Amino acid sequence: MNMSSSPAVSSPLTAIPADIRNAQDYAALAPHFMPPSHYAYIAGGSGYGQSVAANVAAFEQWAIYPRLLRDVSHGHTRITLAGDDYAHPLLLAPVAFHKLAHANGEVDTARAADATETCMIASTQSSYPLEQTVARRGWFQLYLLPRREDTLHLLRRAEAAGYRAIVLTMDAPIQVANRRALAAQFQLPADCVNVNLRGYDLTPRFAGDGPGESRFFQGAMRGAPSWDDIRWIMDATRLPVWVKGVLHPDDAVALRDAGVSGIAVSNHGGRSLDGAPSGLDVLAAIRAAVGAQFPVLYDGGILSGSDAFKALALGADAVAIGRLQLYALSVAGALGVAHMLKLLREELEICMAMAGCATIGDIDSGTLLRQLRR
């Protein structure tokens, strides 16, 4: 396929074109394979998109040192995370409504995860039931529901389905409008619904509509997750409990001390507070605060193996891929996602080999040089 062409909306491919040579090529192709409003919703972020742009720009300030005469003939990308062994440190981040990108949605994404030995973190906001989207050794991302009994029922479903860890997302009690999606007049299609939450009471516990009350301070934020909620979830399950959405070192330390299994440094893909820093800009400080042994994931703006390398060098134990998985899904379904992950892994291996790093454990801040953003 000629990547310079501009089809209106192309059908998903059944074979990978020869001119898709890099994982990032899927980002360039995606607008041709989904309706413009769907693409606007997926690519956009909260407000004016400052944090979305920051996620990508943050990688530009780092260069990777090539090293000479290093023996990497024994090299590999294997890691251990949450007690499980994985072939590589590339995870699939929880992203809502994969059906916006492809009719088979999360089912195809999970197939690709299994084919590439990738840990997929399935989203609560899935367009297919969680029982159908569990990848081998996959994790489940959990949003707290207004009623604890509903949250507990959802948790038990995830346990019964075979998910290996729970990822609590804490950074989005308020969702700021996606101006890009609004401008494109985006609406969820009738066949794209959050099937995991059918039958649960989703009525907010607090409205903030009393005299003199704010619908944010006395409304949404009164129902926001609390430390008590985290303790309750950890008591309610034997699975490892991670917390996603950490950007401040003090929060990271408090979560470590509270006993969570690990954290994910993330600004929610730029879909929470617009103007929040990129997770990459705070990753090293968070790693220094929690110490070398505490598990830390990173997600936000990763489009290449070199991006993944930089996040690992700044302190992440593994990295999660967000929008890029939907871009690849839109182009070629499960085949596209699997191919994108294969390319990412190969790009990471090239960076490691050229930087003299035979294993993931060899990647550290000494492999990077800070440079001014262009």
Separation CA 105–CA 8 (nearest Å):
21
Task: Find residue 230's DSSP bridge partners.
Answer: none
124: region left, alpha or beta (phi > 0 left; psi from -120 to 50 alpha):
alpha
Tokens of 51: 């944090």
Residue pair 185/92 in contact by the 8 Å Cβ criterion: no
CA angle 204, 257, 152 (to 5 degrees): 35
Separation CA 7–CA 31 (nearest Å):
9
Active site annotation includes 268: yes
Residue pair 219/206 in contact by the 8 Å Cβ criterion: yes
Backbone angles phi, psi at 10, to 5 degrees: -85, 150
H or E element in which residue 320 lies: strand 318-321
Q: Which among 320, 167, 146 has a CA at the least distance from the CA of 239?
A: 167
Q: For residue 216, give the DSSP letter.
A: I
Number of helical (H) and strand (E) elements in the chain, helices listed first: 11, 12
Question: Residue 162: how many CB atoms within 10 A of its CB?
Answer: 13
Residue pair 81/295 in contact by the 8 Å Cβ criterion: yes
Residue pair 91/167 in contact by the 8 Å Cβ criterion: no
The single residue listed with the structure tokens 């609004």 is 182
**Crossing angle of helices 36-43 and 323-354, rounded to 10°:** 50
Catalytic residue among 88, 98, 102, 268: 268
Residues designated as active site: 268
